[in-house]
Amino acid sequence: MSAIVEATNLSRFYGIVLGLNNVTFKIQPGITGVVGPNGAGKTTLFRLLTGQIKPSSGTLSVFGSSPWSDRNVRAQIAYCPEDEAVPANIKPQDWLIALGMISGLSASDAKTRAKAALQRVNLAPAHWNKSVHAYSKGMKQRVKLAQCLMHEPRLIILDEPMNGLDPMGREEMANVLRDLAAHGTSVVISSHILQDLEALCREFILLRWGRLPKSSNATANARASAAPANGAADPANPTAPVAPAPRHWPGETTVRCEDPARLARFFFERDLLRGCDLDEETSTLVARWRDPAAFYEKFNQHLLDSGVPIHEVSAKGSQLERAIEPPPLP
Ligand SMILES: Nc1ncnc2c1ncn2[C@@H]1O[C@H](COP(=O)(O)OP(=O)(O)OP(=O)(O)O)[C@@H](O)[C@H]1O
């Protein structure tokens, strides 16, 4: 499978400030996660990929051409920024139709595509004529995603689309993205919620201080010729299921929630736990999994099924977390 994005010694500086420094990587079709701490250069990378800013040096090609200088390439890419960008007092269907018409579609084509886009993001028609201000955060994120789909792009870039979503909203968003990838639309996504990315993506770009840490570069290159990424369509058979990649899951997860004892009981009854610690004072459960892979493959579903309101989940020692941890001081 050939790469859809290739960057070689790519740098972007803002005056003397380093945005992205001499990175080389490839992105394969499918869903790719971009991970890194604040200021690592994720948004800079997204702006470069979407042709909004020009590389300071090095080369970047998307679908074989430069997104900065080739408008045909830009027409195949969609961008969903982190900021809230949907006007509050407009109905999503009207907003999408207006955007389509501004981009040159006829009114009837814009309407057809708006409906198709809202269906693709799983927004029920009963909501299409409500103003966006009445929407939940998860529904707003899906409307943002729908505007990305209006021009039927081959690549969608999503900056923190899981921000502010509860487990159900994150699971719904993840399912929409899996479905898009299964139908041949590639996705590049950043999120601070590493468990979500680990469940969604097989390929990752790890950024730290505008650079690719050595390990991630090596991983990306070693995987460049591997089997289809998780969620990537086989071009010959776009709906064929894709084999999950082997992973190393964290054996221990800390959950801060409304009722840690009830949550522990729920996990024990399903034989998921091999042990746990409860701290009622901080409302925290530290869960040690019998089979971490079995838990993480259905991470959001398990939390939802428990019925316990969840405030925070963190997992020390996940593959991604280890990868983005800063190296120890000498
Ligand atoms: N327009 C700009 N002018 C000057 N410096 C900038 C500009 N945009 C980004 N930077 C700097 O470039 C570096 C990378 O920023 P960037 O926004 O790409 O990181 P990020 O990983 O997206 O961060 P966050 O997770 O906080 O959104 C930071 O040091 C940032 O201050």
Question: Looking at residue 152, which CATH number applies to its domain?
Answer: 3.40.50.300
State the Cα–Cα distance between residues 309 and 312, nearest whole angstrom: 10
Q: Whose CA is nearest to atom 25 of ligand 1?
A: 38
Angle, helix 167-182 to helix 299-306, in steps of 10 degrees = 150
24's enclosing H/E stretch is strand 17-27
- Say yes or no: 219 and 259 in one domain: no
State the Cα–Cα distance between residues 33 and 16, nearest whole angstrom: 28
- Is the pLDDT at 234 greater than 60? The verdict is no
- Is the pLDDT at 249 greater than 90? The verdict is no
Specify the pLDDT at position 13.
93
pTM for the model: 0.72
- Say yes or no: 120 and 189 in one domain: yes
Position 298 in a domain:
yes
Position 22 in a domain:
yes
Q: What is the extent of the structural domain holding 210? A: 5-223
- Say yes or no: 94 and 211 in one domain: yes
Give the residue from 181, 203, 223 where a domain finishes.
223
Cross-strand partners of 284: 256, 279
pLDDT band at 330 (very low <50, low <70, confident <90, very high): very low
Maximum mean pLDDT: which of 11-15, 131-135, 316-320: 11-15
Residue 39 CA to ligand 1 center (angstroms) comes to 5
Position 322 in a domain:
no
- Say yes or no: 87 and 207 in one domain: yes
Asked if 144 and 136 touch (Cβ cutoff 8 Å), the reply is no
Calculate ∠ Cα 145-191-229, nearest 5°. 80
Residue 252 CA to ligand 1 center (angstroms) comes to 32
Residue 327 CA to ligand 1 center (angstroms) comes to 21
Q: Whose CA is nearest to atom 2 of ligand 1?
A: 14
Residue in 12, 41, 4 with CA at minimum distance from that of residue 190:
41
Specify the pLDDT at position 235.
38
Mean pLDDT estimate for the chain: 81
Which ligand 1 atom is nearest residue 82's CA? 27
> φ, ψ for residue 257 (rounded to 5)?
-150, 180
When divided into structural domains, the chain yields a total of 2
Specify the pLDDT at position 107.
93
| pLDDT tens column, 86-109 | 788 889 999 999 999 988 889 999
Specify the pLDDT at position 297.
74
Position 231 in a domain:
no
- Say yes or no: 257 and 217 in one domain: no
In the predicted model, what is the mean pLDDT of residues 110-132?
Answer: 90
pLDDT band at 245 (very low <50, low <70, confident <90, very high): very low
- Is the pLDDT at 139 greater than 50? The verdict is yes
Sheet hosting strand 5-14, strand order edge to edge: 17-27, 5-14, 57-62
pLDDT band at 40 (very low <50, low <70, confident <90, very high): confident
State the Cα–Cα distance between residues 307 and 299, nearest whole angstrom: 13
- Say yes or no: 29 and 144 in one domain: yes
Specify the pLDDT at position 53.
96
pLDDT band at 323 (very low <50, low <70, confident <90, very high): low
Sheet hosting strand 186-190, strand order edge to edge: 77-80, 155-159, 186-190, 31-35, 203-206
- Is the pLDDT at 324 greater than 90? The verdict is no
CA torsion sign, 79 to 80 to 86 to 90? positive
- Say yes or no: 134 and 200 in one domain: yes
- Say yes or no: 206 and 86 in one domain: yes
Maximum mean pLDDT: which of 106-120, 210-224, 294-308: 106-120
Which residue reads 């992205």 in tokens?
A: 20
Which ligand 1 atom is nearest residue 44's CA? 18
Asked if 131 and 89 touch (Cβ cutoff 8 Å), the reply is yes
Indicate which CATH number applies to the domain containing 301.
3.30.70.100
In the predicted model, what is the mean pLDDT of residues 150-173?
Answer: 87
More confident residue, 84 or 174: 174
User: In a mutational test of the pocket of ligand 1, which residue from 14, 193, 208 has the highest number of ligand atoms less than 8 Å from its CB?
Assistant: 14
Q: Show the ligand 1 pocket: residues with CB < 6 angstroms.
A: 14, 17, 19, 36, 38-44
Position 185 in a domain:
yes
Asked if 191 and 204 touch (Cβ cutoff 8 Å), the reply is no
Beta strands in 164-257 (DSSP E): 186-190, 203-206, 252-257
User: In a mutational test of the pocket of ligand 1, which residue from 12, 16, 17 has the highest number of ligand atoms less than 8 Å from its CB?
Assistant: 17
Cross-strand partners of 254: 286, 314
pLDDT band at 236 (very low <50, low <70, confident <90, very high): very low
Cross-strand partners of 26: 6
Residue 114 CA to ligand 1 center (angstroms) comes to 33
Position 325 in a domain:
no
Residue in 47, 46, 48 with CA at minimum distance from that of residue 59:
48
> φ, ψ for residue 74 (rounded to 5)?
-60, -35
Q: Whose CA is nearest to atom 31 of ligand 1?
A: 39
Calculate ∠ Cα 50-20-47, nearest 5°. 15
- Say yes or no: 48 and 171 in one domain: yes
More confident residue, 290 or 32: 32
Report the complex ipTM: 0.96
Q: Whose CA is nearest to atom 26 of ligand 1?
A: 38
- Say yes or no: 168 and 308 in one domain: no
More confident residue, 314 or 184: 184
Position 242 in a domain:
no
Sheet hosting strand 252-257, strand order edge to edge: 273-279, 284-289, 252-257, 310-314
Position 321 in a domain:
no
